[in-house]
Amino acid sequence: MELLILLLIAGVMGYLLSGSRYSQKIDETTGKVTDESEGALKRMGRWTRSFFGRGKQANNFLSWATTNGAAHFPQEFNSWLKGLTPEEADQFTNSLMRYLQGLGYKVEDYTSGEMEYRPAQMQIFVEAVVIYSNEYRRAHEAQLEAKKAEESKKPETSDNGSSSADGKAVAEKQPSRRKGATGEIVQPSVAA
């Protein structure tokens, strides 16, 4: 019985505190902690990728492609690559590194300048990068279009603010077309 009374008191106190000024402070603090921990997690992820391999290769490729290697790539590719945000560039270069490793390329050989004296091999490498980047852009644009189409298909509301469960607008009511005893159409009377 005492335990039940104690639980009841704790519940009432929790309810009263949830509507008080303390709850707002708790919510604000929780939001700040969440934002800070997400930022730290992203920084840690970038650090580990750059420290343990692929991220390092990706960063080397990105810096090479925008400076010394820019002469090898078409102007369209250079403009697109420079226009990427840091997060987009990170995603693209990491994806590109997986693709190039799958093809058997050692990216550091090309970014270090070793292949400058082998123009045929450098040209094949550049073509592989350009072809991949074109397909990467198409896939990214298709994903954005699909997301826009999905958002546009959300349930729409009618003039009176109602919508049906399947997302289609509710039809307006039409006057009755019932026939009276004499065969004529009877219109319902509307009280003013």
| pLDDT tens digit sequence for 8-32 | 998 888 777 776 666 677 777 878 8
Is 173 within a domain?
A: no
- d(CA 91, CA 112) in angstroms, rounded, equals 22
Look up the domain containing 42 and give its range: 20-52
CB-CB neighbours of 56 under 10 Å:
14
Indicate the range of 52-61, 132-141, 142-151 predicted with least confidence. Answer: 52-61
Q: Per the structure, how many domains does the chain have?
A: 2
CB-CB neighbours of 129 under 10 Å:
23
Is 96 within a domain?
A: yes
Q: Are residues 115 and 133 in the same domain?
A: yes
Q: Are residues 35 and 91 in the same domain?
A: no
Q: Are residues 60 and 143 in the same domain?
A: yes
- Return the pLDDT at 157: 52
Is 174 within a domain?
A: no
Q: Are residues 61 and 89 in the same domain?
A: yes
Q: Are residues 68 and 136 in the same domain?
A: yes
Percentage of the chain exceeding pLDDT 70: 70
Mean pLDDT of the chain, nearest integer: 77
